[in-house]
Amino acid sequence: MTGRPAPFDEMTGGGEGPRPPYRDYCAWFGAEPIARLRRKAAEAETFFRRTGITFNVYGDAEATERLIPFDIVPRILSGREWARLARGIEQRVRAINAFLHDIYHRQEILRAGRLPLALVARNPAFLPQMIGVAPPGGVYTHIVGVDLVRTAEDEFFVLEDNARTPSGVSYMLENRETMLQMFPELFTRVRVQPVQDYPMRLRRSLEAAAPAACPGRPVVAVLTPGLHNSAYFEHAFLADNMGAELVEGSDLRVVDGRIAMRTTRGFQPIDVLYRRVDDDFLDPLVFRPDSLLGVPGIMDIYRAGGITLANAPGTGIADDKAIYSYMPEIVEFYTGEAPILRNVPTWRCGEPDALAYVLDHLSELVVKEVHGSGGYGMLVGPAASRRELAAFREKLTANPGNYIAQPTLALSTVPVLTRAGLAPRHVDLRPYVLVAPDRIDLVPGGLTRVALRRGSLVVNSSQGGGTKDTWVLED
């Protein structure tokens, strides 16, 4: 990445002293002996291990439970910066829900010619089973994770929307918990907006989206694929902190037209199911017949309005990477406003002109699979070897419609604590958005992921990324 301008550093902004949001923190940091900080960092790891905050790595038989590395230097946003982001996120999430409702009902956006029909009709993320279905409260995406990156003081881009089952919120909460335990004195010095009530806000938001026929306080449960799922810790964590049951498919069945869980006192109906099982596995009668993770018949109950599924099936059409490139149009179409948050310029490789450009500039671009996630199957051009580029070129020409390409953004950096002291590393930000029938709720902050290798732009935990506590200041 020679010849490029230095990326925007959120602590210094390229200047001499710290930027305003970091001023108090830096004053504290400057007075701390580095040895003490290093000891604290080691303590943090012990804390995570003891609490069992681990994730499972697929295809790694030896160390099946791993820690996501945690860096003790917080990522700090001012209240003003956050307020602007929050407005943009809210707008985008409102548009996503309106889009989902439209695409499964009248499809106005297709009629208006603002989105190519083929993009929806031939998209495996589009579920015909959802056509005409009215989810309780009209909510499709009860929880959304919007991945943001920053390139300059006032430049934020949405990298992708996670409208299916965004994960990582438990790390946001545990990171804060860890910081509070390790550096209580910091939080008396710097006023940080709290995030710890996220689970209760999630519960309230889910309850508000319960089926209309639900009498009294809704029964909420979290559906997990089980112990071996990579995010099992998070499923248990959220169920625990919401006071909801953590259920598996084998605990559930249809009883008298409801989905009910097998308890020590018999079967008890569930009103709202926060499911962390993918659409494909949700109902073997409708989707994959070999699935043991779901509940036979749940889609019938859902379509009859007997249960709320969060998120609704079929929301993947909204976070599809090919659809992503149309998000500015989608936001404008449904909100009548110009998008507050910018999209990263995107080439759809299925279009011949775009493909030609991408093939010509492969070494400068990031190329992603349209349906991929987790940083798997993507090419980071500037970091790729000649051989990797050639291999990817072959995959790309064989199936261009499967890829999109974006410029490599100069992602902002935030320092991490290394052996040699502070060193800048690239970060992104995933705020978590809760959607209820009558409002959209955001906890201030989100999960900051950081690429721990010097110069790396890949922040995914499955690819050597770590996390930081994210602070939004009380201005």
Partner 1 sequence: MLGRTAGGLYWMFRYLERSENTARLIEAGFRIALTRSGRSAEDWASVIDTAGARAAYAGRGGRMEGGPVIDFLLRDRQNPSSVLSCVEAARANARMVRTALTREVWEATNECWMVLREALRRPVREPDLPGVLGLIRRQNALVRGALHGSMLRNDVFDFARIGTFLERADNTARILDVKYYVLLPSVSHVGSSLDNVQWETVLRSVAGERAYRWLTGGEVTPRGIADFLILDGRMPRSLAFCVGKMAGNLGYLERQYDMRHPCHDRIAALKAGLDGTTIEAIFERGLHEFLLAFLSDNAALSAQIERDYRFYG
Residue 364 neighbours by CB distance under 10 Å: 13
Contact stretch for partner 1 (CB under 8 A) within 100-108, 231-239, 384-392, 405-413: 231-239
Q: Which residues of 386-400 are buried (b: 16+ CB within 10 A; e: fewer)?
A: eeeeeebeeebeeeb
Element (H, E) at 233: helix 232-242
CB of 202 to partner 1, least distance (A): 15
The amino acid at residue 289 is P
Binding-residue total with partner 1 (CB under 8 A): 22
- Out of 102, 160, 207, 248, which residue is the one contacting partner 1 (CB under 8 A)? 248
- Tell me whether residue 250 or residue 418 sits nearer to partner 1 (CB atom): 250
For position 179 contacting partner 1 by CB under 8 A, the verdict is no
Q: Work out the angle between the directed axes of helices 232-242 and 198-208 (0-180°, nearest 10).
A: 80
- Out of 153, 197, 240, 364, which residue is the one contacting partner 1 (CB under 8 A)? 240
Q: Which of residues 123-162 bind partner 1 (CB under 8 A)?
A: none
Query: Which phi and psi (to 5°) does residue 263 adopt?
Result: -110, 175
Contact stretch for partner 1 (CB under 8 A) within 92-100, 255-263, 296-304, 419-427: 255-263
In 37-167, beta strands by DSSP E: 55-56, 65-66, 70-77, 143-152, 155-162
Site string for partner 1, 50-69 (x = CB under 8 A): xxx-----------------
Contact stretch for partner 1 (CB under 8 A) within 25-33, 211-219, 240-248, 337-345: 240-248
Is 253 buried (19+), middle (13-18) or exposed (0-12) by CB count in 10 A?
middle
Residue with tokens 């699979």: 369
For position 295 contacting partner 1 by CB under 8 A, the verdict is no
For position 236 contacting partner 1 by CB under 8 A, the verdict is yes
For position 196 contacting partner 1 by CB under 8 A, the verdict is no
Site string for partner 1, 259-288 (x = CB under 8 A): --xxxxxx----------------------
CB of 220 to partner 1, least distance (A): 12
- Tell me whether residue 248 or residue 283 sits nearer to partner 1 (CB atom): 248
Give the closest residue to 172 by CA, choosing from 91, 249, 234. 234
CB of 199 to partner 1, least distance (A): 12
Beta bridge partners of 451: 465
Residue with tokens 């929301």: 315
For position 246 contacting partner 1 by CB under 8 A, the verdict is yes
Q: Alpha-carbon distance 396 to 348, whole Å?
A: 12
- Tell me whether residue 225 or residue 415 sits nearer to partner 1 (CB atom): 225
- Virtual CA dihedral for 319, 356, 2, 76, nearest 10 degrees? -10
For position 227 contacting partner 1 by CB under 8 A, the verdict is yes
For position 245 contacting partner 1 by CB under 8 A, the verdict is yes
- Tell me whether residue 2 or residue 264 sits nearer to partner 1 (CB atom): 264
For position 43 contacting partner 1 by CB under 8 A, the verdict is no
Q: Which residues of 166-191 are buried (b: 16+ CB within 10 A; e: fewer)?
A: bbbbbbbbbbbbbbeebbeebeeebe
Contact in structure between 296 and 126 (CB atoms under 8 Å): no
- Tell me whether residue 268 or residue 463 sits nearer to partner 1 (CB atom): 268
- Tell me whether residue 22 or residue 171 sits nearer to partner 1 (CB atom): 171
Give the closest residue to 364 by CA, choosing from 395, 410, 412. 410
- Tell me whether residue 251 or residue 329 sits nearer to partner 1 (CB atom): 251
Query: Can you give the binding site for partner 1, defined by CB under 8 A?
Result: 49-52, 227, 232, 236, 239-240, 244-248, 250-251, 261-266
